Copies of this chain bind each other. A is one copy, B any other.
Amino acid sequence: MNLKQLAHMLALSQTTVSRALNGYPEVNEETRRRVMDAAKRHGYRPNPSARRLATGKSGMIGYVLPTGAAVDIDPHFVEFLSGLGDYARAHELDLVLSPADADDQETTYRRIVANRQVDAVYISSPRPVDRRVALVNTLGIPFIVHGRSEGSGFDYPYLDIDNEGAFHEAARLLVQLGHRRLALINGDDRETFAIHRERGMRRALAASGLTLDDRHVSSVVMTEENGYRAARRLLEQDDAPTAIACSSLIMALGVVRAARDLGLSIPGDISLIAHDDVFPWLKPENFSVPLSTTRSSIRLAGARVAERLAARISGLEEGARGEVWPVDLVVRGSVAGAPG
């Protein structure tokens, strides 16, 4: 059943039927009702390919997926996706993932924009002066950045959590508990979130006249193994830290294992706080010692990004609106006063 048939059946022109269906004002309400009715009864659904060719709109949102033998997709992605899906489902939006060589995403962005494959895109894991952000900005496709880029010299729409504030609070708590030597096991410090977290910690320490020793900072891909290695390295130093802030639960698993291997107790010998993106399959309260966390649901962020993307597509949202979500500090058993 296509438009032509439906129009014929109603003894109307395709124009009128199309307009009735799409809510244009220049059609009699009575006629509109008839059309809507017939459309529903016959299960008419406009052909998206045709609509797309005519309008240039696809009804999909895009994401350029960096891939490659050496590239691992972050498990956070799947939770973000859950949230995105929650919203998208309710609005019949599809998501298209365009795999791209991690080292050359530009080609892919250009392709999906030139081809009008998607109406909007989102960008995740941005870095300062991120080329992708500058690119989609000039390309003129609606977009939202999940996270922040910095120092590019222009504004853009984003959704981020207050990473700096979160780690500031975490560090402040640790300092209040008497810790003087703090450590940070961070994610890839080329990404903004990691920079913000480090900045937050340093600021909290500075407020008490303390500093974050460079030897007490690790920046690694967030795997269990890297968490373990970083923790061992830290804890085997002569001036070992008494408290560790860690950028992910998965790394925290490694930290806990390292402490156990070294015969150190949490929180007796070292306090531990990690950032929790809220995975359903790994919960901080279930760590052998319940883990204190800075918590922010990445799933909710996914839903919100989808919502704002939809708003941008339909013109409801404009401009470079930035949105920063506060982060909860949840104190559990893994932090205690500094030893000694």
Contacts and interface: CB of A to CB of B under 8 A. Distances in A.
Nearest to A83: B67
Contact of A223 (B67, B97, B280): B280
A73 B81 contact: yes
A75 B75 contact: yes
A225 interface: yes
Interface string A78-112: 11011011101100011111111100000000010
Contacts of A261: 288
Contacts of A329: none
A11 interface: no
A34 interface: no
Nearest to A299: B72
Given A48-B115, A223-B282, A71 B82 contact: yes
Contacts of A48: 115, 117
A112 to B, nearest CB: 8
Interface stretch (A22-30, A235-243, A249-257): A249-257
Interface string A255-280: 00100110000000000000000011
Given A72-B281, A250-B281, A94 B89 contact: no
A332 interface: no
Given A73-B81, A94-B98, 6 more contacts: A52-B53, A67-B86, A75-B281, A95-B96, A96-B96, A224-B281
Interface of A: 45, 47-50, 52-53, 56, 58, 60, 65, 67-69, 71-75, 77-79, 81-82, 84-86, 88-89, 93-101, 111, 114-117, 222-225, 228, 250, 253-254, 257, 260-261, 279-283, 286, 288
